[in-house]
Structure 1
Amino acid sequence: MTTRETAIDRATAYYDSGTFLTDLRRRVAMPTESRPPADTTRLRAYLEDELAPATSRLGATVRILDNPVPDAGPFLLAHRHEADDLPTVLVYGHADVVPGQDGRWRAGLSPWDLVVEGDRLYGRGTADNKGQHTVNLAALEQVLAARGGRLGFNLKLLMETGEESGSPGLHEFCRRMKDDLTADVLIASDGPRLAADRPTLFLGSRGAANFRLRVPLRAGAHHSGNWGGALRNPATVLAAALSTLVDAQGRILVEGLRPPAIPEPVRAALADLTVGGGEADPTVDTDWGEPGLTPAERVFAWNTLEVLALSAGDPAKPVGAIPGTAHADVQLRFVVGTDWQNLESIVRAHLDAHALPMVEVEVLQAVPATRLDPGSPWVHWAKASLHRTTGKIPAILPNLGGTLPNDAFAEILGLPTIWVPHSHPSCAQHAPDEHMLGTVARESLAVMAGLFWDLGEDPGNMCP
């Protein structure tokens, strides 16, 4: 008789046997960088040579489809249908990685070689996202085997190859393929757990809007002795402009860029969560940001305004001259309810009110925020499943502090979205020395096997 424990044991045996490392090593060795997007050959090869066979083993029909955006990477779309009266889950992941940054990894490491040092599995994509989708595909395969060739639900799988370059074409693909992507719930994995030892669910993501402030006063620089006091300094003007947007303690000063009050279910979900505290985590500045909020509320339930870059003159070799121009790249991370669509006009009006009409504002890109209600039946179901598998109370994040293309699923496809991350906060994601933790990978295999088993165990109750 097959049981839930059988599926979980098979999933952890997949790790203990070394097969997980073998599969991940092969996948890490494929440099599927999506930036610059000059050649999509490797992206397509990863789908064809790696993911299509793995998905076919699930008994799914696999298609590799072109991106609606010319020269952008393709999509893999797979479908396994068991019965019309069963729930359908859409599983998402991405095959691309950020640039390898060869030569910047510490001695003994390479972005394209899986290196195991104790609990750390080094290599580009181990945390984001090859390690994570390897866990999910393996868990599905073990549940299928444990249940004698059945999942107990219908499966759709979508794998994109451009998430690290802004998911070009994903939203249009979802619009065009909406019937093919119809499901009852999205279950996906990306990003970090709240802490390495605490299973985590997040239900959406903060949005992000990048904008540039420019102060283009004159064509060139002028001697600071001959002209100082007679010429307006664009760097000084820019610093003054920034100080009107966010104060010295990180509090947003523009009312239109602040979010609505934190909903009570969101506040309750965050009540027992602690940000940081891991071995390699930075020390949290408890006095930074919006007064009266906990660090968890600031990261997961509030807006932040971050200055990403400042430029005026030559920072590497400053000279005694008043620069002609200055600019700053600024990012607003925001939660649901923020008027992000009118960001440019809000900032423009604010700067004009502070007598700074010479500061230009340009919105560069923006991704909406999403958030599933923490009271959703799907959240209660997933939380119970993770607790049953691990014996731990999962952390429930109403939304990730970072940003994912979750709006494609939540808004275009209209799905409740459940994300189960398999990484940890200090994984060096997007940086040299990226790594996954073996203990987290093994526990995540058990978590996902349990979750997928539970989805097929009592399908009559699984469409809240």
Structure 2
Amino acid sequence: MTSPAHPGDQNPSDSREPALLEAASTGLPAALSDLGRLVRIPGMAWPAFDQTQLERSAEAVAALATDTGVFDDVRILRADIPGTDEKGQPAVLATRAARNGKPRILLYAHHDVQPPGDDELWETPPFEPTVRDGRMYGRGAADDKAGIMAHIAAIRALAEVRGDDLDLGIAMFIEGEEEYGSRSFAQFLSDNKDALRADAIVVADSGNWDSVTPGLTVSLRGNARFTVRVRTLDHASHSGMFGGAVPDAMMTTVKMLSTLWNDDGSVAVEGMTERDAPTPEYGEETLRDEAGLLPGTTPIGGGTILSRIWNKPSVTVIGIDATSVSAASNTLLPEATVVISARVAPGQSADDAYAALEAHLRAHAPFGAELTFSDVDLGDGFLVDTSGWAVSLTRDAMRDGYGVAPIDLGVGGSIPFISDLVREFPAAQILVTGVEDPHSRAHSPNESLHLDTFRHAVATEALLLSRMNDTSI
């Protein structure tokens, strides 16, 4: 496509933009009400949960898309999960054709949510949206049902103000299994490639610098998650009879795992790389506030704090199967199983990082312990080419929607399916945005959405869509 002129050169004082911002503002109560209705639907993609709730959730999103009056077609679709005879969870695909040479944009979010965890840790019920102190609390209120409603609210404002002048092509893809690993995502892209093809893709599933400063995510770490079983005995043995001569699986596992980190907590795995890139100023006090670090606990790693989160690898043990405290006995454990989640520096492939981790653990398994690796789940990181025309449009829209210049962010988390988007649509510019702020607590108890951040995000997206509508290709 031909790169358009900078938006500031096209419509420096578009008389419709004040009306657009007003429409976005007056539409907020309805958008938040709709968000509350979505939060009340406990749609989780894990098989242990009621899968009919995901169907309810998809139907609710499809109805919202239809009611905008903008889309030519709205469907609920499922794609095959490769390598199985299963279908993925229901996704919503809404499309309208581009007219008069205008660009086409793909808007992504997901309607499935994380399980709530321990209900006792929630101050209010996880699936009962509650507004207090300028925030809406509830599972999915931020991640990512607010992303859905940012798209819907922006489209509503755009349709109200632009009316028959709306020629922008729009595809909206609302996934139903992002939190469960996007198992059918790649197949969904392949099945619906023509409907999803776009000049720019907005992935509304990230965060912002803070509650008042927008962020455009320009790098994401990859991920390598796997399970490793450690065996030292073919049966449990008496710890008094044989302890001191026989290595039990727990002691062996602890010794092996301890080799993954240096004394300062940084990753000690040969072959896991780092990215050299500057980071904004971010102090330890901010880290303590945003992460909930206890007063006596110190940060780990070296270099700037954000370089540790954005540009360096991390390794976390996120699960362990062994004898529980309540069932403890004087027994040498024959085996232990752990789940390891590693974050991979942008620029390194997840395959290479996993190979380095497996080689390290095999080399450092003490006493000849038997290791079995399984359930390997890999996703590559992402680096944005920030020179594109859509990136410029997005930054300007953020500046005008928030009233504050945006910051280019790296994100320590992973969105592995972005590599699928890059592979399937190599010419599209991918714009990773979001409605979360550092206190949203996505995936944690008391997840919440900062309402002012949501207001600014809706205004930003309405401006972006309107300005894209004024761009010719």
2:99 to 76, 83, 86: 83
- Distance (whole Å) between structure 1 residues aligned to residue 154 and residue 338 of structure 2: 45
- Distance (whole Å) between structure 2 residues aligned to residue 400 and residue 380 of structure 1: 24
Higher deviation after alignment, 249-258 or 305-314? 305-314
Structure 1 residue aligned with 2:3: none
Q: 2:233 is aligned with what amino acid?
A: R
2:240 to 212, 221, 225: 225
Deviation of 1:171 (Å): 0.7
Structure 2 residue aligned with 1:358: 369
**TM-score for the superposition, normalised by structure 2:** 0.86
- Distance (whole Å) between structure 1 residues aligned to residue 62 and residue 219 of structure 2: 25
- Whether 2:434 is the aligned partner of 1:421: answer yes
Structure 1 residue aligned with 2:460: 447
**Does the 8 Å CA contact 1:207/1:333 hold for their aligned counterparts?**
yes
- Whether 2:286 is the aligned partner of 1:271: answer no
Deviation of 1:433 (Å): 2.0
Structure 1 residue aligned with 2:212: 197
- Distance (whole Å) between structure 1 residues aligned to residue 31 and residue 50 of structure 2: 29
Provide closer, same or farther for how the CA distance between residues 287 and 111 of structure 1 changes in structure 2, counting only shifts above 3 A.
closer
RMSD over aligned CA atoms reads 2.6
- Distance (whole Å) between structure 2 residues aligned to residue 105 and residue 64 of structure 1: 34
CA offsets, 1:138-183, max 9 Å, x none? 1111012111333342111111111121112111110222122111
Structure 2 residue aligned with 1:66: 78
Listed as ranges, the matches of 1:247-326 within 5 Å are 247-259=262-274, 261-262=275-276, 267-268=277-278, 270-272=279-281, 276=286, 281-283=291-293, 287-289=299-301, 291=302, 293-326=303-336
Structure 2 residue aligned with 1:394: 406
Deviation of 1:116 (Å): 1.4
Q: 1:418 is aligned with what amino acid?
A: L
Q: 1:217 is aligned with what amino acid?
A: T
Provide the secondary structure at the position in 2 that maps to 1:179. Answer: helix
Deviation of 1:74 (Å): 1.7
Provide the secondary structure at the position in 2 that maps to 1:396. Answer: strand
**Does the 8 Å CA contact 1:204/1:417 hold for their aligned counterparts?**
no
Deviation of 1:250 (Å): 2.0
Higher deviation after alignment, 79-88 or 153-162? 79-88
Deviation of 1:38 (Å): 6.2
Deviation of 1:366 (Å): 1.5
Deviation of 1:359 (Å): 4.4
Q: 1:29 is aligned with what amino acid?
A: R
Deviation of 1:279 (Å): 5.4
Provide the secondary structure at the position in 1 that maps to 2:462. Answer: helix
Deviation of 1:436 (Å): 0.9
Structure 1 residue aligned with 2:397: 385
Structure 2 residue aligned with 1:170: 185
Provide the secondary structure at the position in 1 that maps to 2:435. Answer: coil
Provide the secondary structure at the position in 1 that maps to 2:360. Answer: helix
Deviation of 1:315 (Å): 3.3
**Does the 8 Å CA contact 1:344/1:362 hold for their aligned counterparts?**
no
Q: 1:320 is aligned with what amino acid?
A: N
**TM-score for the superposition, normalised by structure 1:** 0.88
Structure 2 residue aligned with 1:5: 18
Deviation of 1:361 (Å): 4.6
Q: Specify every segment of 5 or more residues in structure 1 that has no aligned partner in the other structure, as ranges.
A: none
**Does the 8 Å CA contact 2:70/2:159 hold for their aligned counterparts?**
no
Provide closer, same or farther for how the CA distance between residues 355 and 282 of structure 1 changes in structure 2, counting only shifts above 3 A.
closer
CA offsets, 1:278-328, max 9 Å, x none? 855424977512x3x211111112211112234444334533332211232
Structure 2 residue aligned with 1:93: 109
**Alignment size in residue pairs:** 449
1:21 to 26, 32, 39: 32
**Does the 8 Å CA contact 1:65/1:77 hold for their aligned counterparts?**
yes
Provide the secondary structure at the position in 2 that maps to 1:384. Answer: helix
Q: 2:266 is aligned with what amino acid?
A: R
Structure 1 residue aligned with 2:142: 127
Provide closer, same or farther for how the CA distance between residues 128 and 305 of structure 1 changes in structure 2, counting only shifts above 3 A.
same
CA offsets, 1:324-355, max 9 Å, x none? 11232211101333243145543343345446
Provide closer, same or farther for how the CA distance between residues 50 and 179 of structure 1 changes in structure 2, counting only shifts above 3 A.
closer
Structure 1 residue aligned with 2:57: 46
**Does the 8 Å CA contact 1:28/1:123 hold for their aligned counterparts?**
yes
Structure 2 residue aligned with 1:406: 418
**Does the 8 Å CA contact 1:215/1:327 hold for their aligned counterparts?**
yes
